[in-house]
Amino acid sequence: MSERYDLIVLGAGSGGLSAAQRAARLGARVALFDPDALGGTCVNRGCVPKKAMWFAAQIADMHRLGAQIGFEAGALRLDWARFRTLRDQYIAGIRHRYATRLDMAGIRVMAEAARLASNDAVITAQGTQATASHIVIATGARPRRLDIPGFELGMVSDQIFMLDAPPQHIAIVGGGYVAVEFACLMRSLGCQVDLLVRENLLTGFDLELVEALAVQMQSHGIRIVRNTQIRAARGQPGTVTLEAAGGVEHGVYDAVLWAVGRVPNSDGLGLESLNVERDEAGHVLVDAFQNTNVAGIYAVGDVTDRKALTPVAVAAGRALAERLIGGDADAKFDDSVIPSVVFSEPPLGSVGLTEQQARARYGDAVNVHTGRYTPLLWMVAGRSEQSVVKLLSVGEERKVVGIHVLGPGSDELLQGFAVAMQKGLTWQELKSTIAIHPTAAEELLLLH
Catalytic residues: 437
10 Å CB burial of residue 416 (0-12, 13-18, 19+) is: exposed
- What single-letter DSSP state applies at residue 363? G
Pairing of β 108-110 and β 30-33 = parallel
- Angstrom distance (rounded) from CA 9 to CA 19: 8
Contacts of 212 (CB under 8 A, 6+ apart): 386, 388, 406
Beta strands in 210-347 (DSSP E): 223-225, 230-236, 239-244, 249-253, 255-258, 262-264, 297-299, 340-342
A 10 A CB-CB count for 162 gives: 11
Cβ-contact 9, 136 below 8 angstroms: yes
Neighbours of 58 (CB within 10 A): 16
Distance CA 210, CA 204 (A): 10
Find out whether 186 and 193 touch, Cβ atoms under 8 Å: yes
Tally the C-alpha atoms within 13 A of residue 259's C-alpha that lie toward its C-beta.
26
Residue 299 CB-density burial (10 A; 0-12 exposed, 13-18 middle, 19+ buried): buried
Report phi then psi at 421, rounded to 5.
Answer: -65, -40
One-letter identity of residue 112:
E
Instruction: Give the rounded distance of the alpha carbon of 203 from its chain centre.
Output: 14
Q: Find, among 207, 163, 160, the residue nearest to 179 by Cα.
A: 160
Q: Could you give phi then psi for residue 185, rounded to 5 degrees? A: -70, -35
Closest to 185 in 3D by CA, of 344, 27, 403: 344
CB atoms within 10 A of CB 286: 22
